[in-house]
């Protein structure tokens, strides 16, 4: 961002602000905005206007310079041009908005070991032997925890029969990294 894109309302000597690098316009001054709450812009419904992409508050700052005591400063924010005379407040210290968990689709390939959601939230492993993208399923062998799981953290094949199970993509949690130890599988942690 060039210095022209920062709306400067006031200045504070940068040497008084801990861990701040000097402003490119003046090596001894930092841009300062005061009383952002009184600069909010409301939309037609009376709601505070927000930037459509970042959801940050949009303000119309005052145009006078002011002097402040360093102890009266709350934190540093940036103003990003949004519309003529209006700026989006970029506040790296603002409270984090809770983001919902995002499920990323898993597209396994033959030979992959996958983590499968079983009944009662139990996680299993399955070695993929065939993939059917049309029906969004894989065919493979299930693995369960070895009877000495606490000592070795190994997965063993559930059954030695040649019958494979069909597993829907929706049940696959992730592709698991690991290595074979003889007939057993060990996850990388």
Confidence of residue 65 (pLDDT cuts 50, 70, 90): low
pLDDT of residue 183: 92
Q: Is the pLDDT of residue 12 over 50?
A: no
The pLDDT, as a whole number, for residue 11 is 41
First to last CA, the chain: 41
Residue 1, pLDDT above cutoff 60: no
The whole-angstrom separation of Cα 151 and Cα 144 is 15
Q: Which element (helix H / strand E) includes 149?
A: helix 149-152
79 has a pLDDT exceeding 60: yes
Contacting residues for 5 by C-beta, under 8 A, at least 6 apart:
80, 81
Q: With cut-offs at 50, 70 and 90, classify the pLDDT of residue 28.
A: very low
Residue predicted with more confidence, 171 or 103: 171
For range 153-168, the mean pLDDT: 89
Answer whether residue 83 shows pLDDT above 70: yes
Q: Has residue 29 got a pLDDT over 90? A: no
The stretch 13-35 carries a mean pLDDT of 45
Whole-number mean pLDDT of the chain? 74
């Amino acid at each position: 961002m060039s210095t022209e894109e920062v709306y400067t309302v006031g200045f504070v000597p940068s040497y008084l602000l801990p861990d701040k690098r000097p402003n490119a316009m003046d090596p001894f001054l930092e841009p300062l905005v005061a009383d952002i709450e009184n600069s909010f812009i409301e939309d037609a419904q009376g709601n505070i206007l927000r930037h459509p992409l970042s959801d940050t508050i949009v303000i119309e700052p005052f145009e006078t310079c002011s002097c402040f005591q360093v102890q009266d400063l709350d934190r540093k924010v940036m103003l990003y041009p949004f519309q003529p005379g209006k700026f989006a407040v970029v506040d790296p210290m603002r409270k984090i908005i809770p983001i919902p968990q995002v499920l990323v689709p898993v597209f396994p390939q033959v030979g992959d070991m996958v983590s499968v959601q079983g009944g009662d939230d139990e996680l299993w492993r399955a070695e993929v032997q065939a993939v059917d993208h049309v029906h969004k399923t894989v065919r493979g062998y299930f693995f369960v925890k070895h009877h000495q799981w606490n000592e070795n953290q190994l997965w063993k094949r559930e059954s030695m029969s040649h019958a494979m199970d069909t597993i829907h993509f929706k049940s696959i949690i992730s592709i698991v990294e690991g290595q074979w130890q003889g007939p057993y599988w060990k996850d990388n942690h």
